[in-house]
Amino acid sequence: MKIAENILKQVHQNGPLHFALLDPDKQTPKKAGELAKSAETAGSNAIMVGGSTLLSQKQVDETVKAIKKETMLPVILFPSAAKFLSSYADGLFFMSLLNSRNLDFVIREHIKGAFFVKKSDVEPISMGYVIVEPGMTAGKMGEVDLVKRDDIETAVGYGLSAQYLGMDFFYLEAGSGSPDPVPDEMIKAVKENIDIPLIVGGGIRTVKTAKQKACAGADIIVTGTAIEQESDVKQALKAIVDELKQ
């Protein structure tokens, strides 16, 4: 079964889901493999690989290969540019940063990477990506007109636009390491208005916050920093995943 179809099925049958994000810039490939293994054991549903400050495609390739060696979970690229694609991954969020001022992140990088995707076996998964205040590094690097935390109407407009443009997923992002995740009211309003799965990430570090965002309407919770910072990664992730399943 294709990755996107399988995620959709899981969202409907077992949601909310948990995706663990690993940034190749933050650890060695070997360590990334170990973290991915921990995420799999904890019950995560997929491993996302990406970051805003990557240096080379090799770095991504080596990280993806190490993760593939350690887990059976689908490895989905979360790319910041076309030069960071890896043919070793299973899937790729073919994502448009809808609120960027720079067309590179909206469509031009996609044009550069499209033929690579066609030649590879990596499954492109269409996603609308929108960054909400404070946005952190992704907001700065992506040259984003951040959605204000109280501007629910704009967030819903982006979600609906992603859906009407034919995208399969919509991601509301507060930025990795954000002190404040996407507000509950915003998640709730977007979820009530769109029919495609809603992914939420950025600043979700605790079981309580993950549960709160899922209760507000997130279909998929993404955590990155939580993995990087915990001493007992497996236990920390298991607590989040277990709570999401209840």
Binding site for ligand 1GP (CB under 6 A): 21, 173, 176-178, 201-204, 222-226
* H or E stretch covering 172: strand 169-173
Helical axes 29-42 vs 57-70, angle rounded to 10°: 40
Closer Cβ to ligand 1GP, 45 or 223, answer by number: 223
CB neighbour class for 160 (10 Å; exposed up to 12, middle 13-18, buried from 19): middle
- Judged by beta carbon, residue 189 or residue 240, the one nearer ligand 1GP is 240
Residue indicated by tokens 């409907």:
12
Q: Tokens at residue 200, please?
A: 């939420």
* Whole-number Å distance between alpha carbons of 2 and 179: 35
Minimum separation from the CB atom of position 118 to ligand 1GP (A) = 26
- Shortest approach of ligand 1GP to residue 199 CB, angstroms? 9
Torsion, Cα 57 60 65 67, to 10 degrees, reads 180
3-class state of residue 49 by DSSP:
strand
Please report how close the Cβ of residue 25 comes to ligand 1GP at its closest, in angstroms. 12
- Taking the complex as a whole, the smallest distance from the CB of residue 78 to ligand 1GP amounts, in Å, to 7
Closer to ligand 1GP by Cβ: residue 91 or 202? 202
CB nearer to ligand 1GP: give 69 or 227: 227
Query: Least distance from C-beta 201 to ligand 1GP, angstroms?
Result: 3
Q: Which residue, 43 or 177, is less far from ligand 1GP as judged by CB? A: 177
Q: Where are the beta strands (DSSP E) in 23-158?
A: 46-49, 75-77, 91-97, 123-131
